[in-house]
Structure 1
Amino acid sequence: MQILKPAKAGTMESNDMYVMIMPNPDGGIELELESIVIKQFGEEIEKVIRETLKELDVKDAVLKVQDKGALNYTIKARIETVVNRAASN
């Protein structure tokens, strides 16, 4: 999917995450991740985000993610939602 416009999904509530996505004119995936559990789960959170983007065939995007302890299924749902919002007209 091609990211056409900026979009956001999620909340800053506990056990959720807030995701903003924008087109990346330079190409590639740029990920800025902030998390309250980054030391314990940062690599896993990034892995789930990147795998979900790959499944959705997103190749060029800038993502800013603020995690408040979201579980993997929540991370996946937020990424799918924000990509669908950013790819639709």
Structure 2
Amino acid sequence: MKIVKEALAGTLESSDLLVKVAPATDEALEVVINSEVLRQFGEQIEKVVRETLGKLDVEAGLVVVEDKGALDCAIRARVQTAVLRGVESQDLNWSALS
């Protein structure tokens, strides 16, 4: 999937996160994570984000995550939602979202 516009998903409430996606300027995939628990869970957050992007076949774009202590399931859901809003595609591979 190719991200064609900026999109957001989530909130900045406690135990949630805000995910912003934007088109790539150089056809690279850049993931930026800001979190209150970055030192303890930064690697896990990035792993979940990158796995989710991989399942959605996102190869380029900017993904910014503002985490407030969200669980892995919330991270996956917010990344999926932001990407789906940013790609403007009607042909979705729903099985990739499980």
Query: Does TM-score exceed 0.5, indicating one fold?
Result: yes
Q: Aligned partners of 2:34 and 2:13: how far apart in 1?
A: 14
> Which residue matches 1:20?
20
Alpha-carbon deviation of 1:41?
0.3
2:11 is matched with: 11
The whole-number CA distance in structure 2 between the counterparts of 1:69 and 1:25 is 30
Runs of 4+ with deviation above 3 angstroms? none
Which residues of 2 match residues 1-89 of structure 1 at below 5 A?
A: 1-88=1-88
| Structure 1 counterpart of 2:92 | none
Take 2:28 and 2:48, find their aligned partners in 1: how far apart are those partners?
17
Query: Which amino acid in the other structure matches residue 35 of structure 2?
Result: S
Return the alpha-carbon distance in structure 1 between the equivalents of residues 58 and 84 of structure 2.
11
Structure 1 unaligned blocks of 5 or more: none
Query: Quick one: distance in 1 between partners of 2:25 and 2:42?
Result: 26
Q: Distance in 2 between matches of 1:19 and 1:39?
A: 19
Deviation readout 1:29-79 (Å, 9 max, x if unpaired): 111110011010000000000000000000011011100000000000000
**Between Structure 1 and Structure 2, whose CA radius of gyration is higher?**
2
Q: Normalized against structure 1, the TM-score is what? A: 0.97
For CA contacts below 8 A with separation 6 or more, give which structure has more relative contact order: 1
Q: Matched residues in 2 for 1:60 and 1:25: separation?
A: 9
Gaps of 5+ in 2: 90-98
CA RMSD of aligned residues (A): 0.9
Q: How many residues align?
A: 89
Q: Percent identity?
A: 48
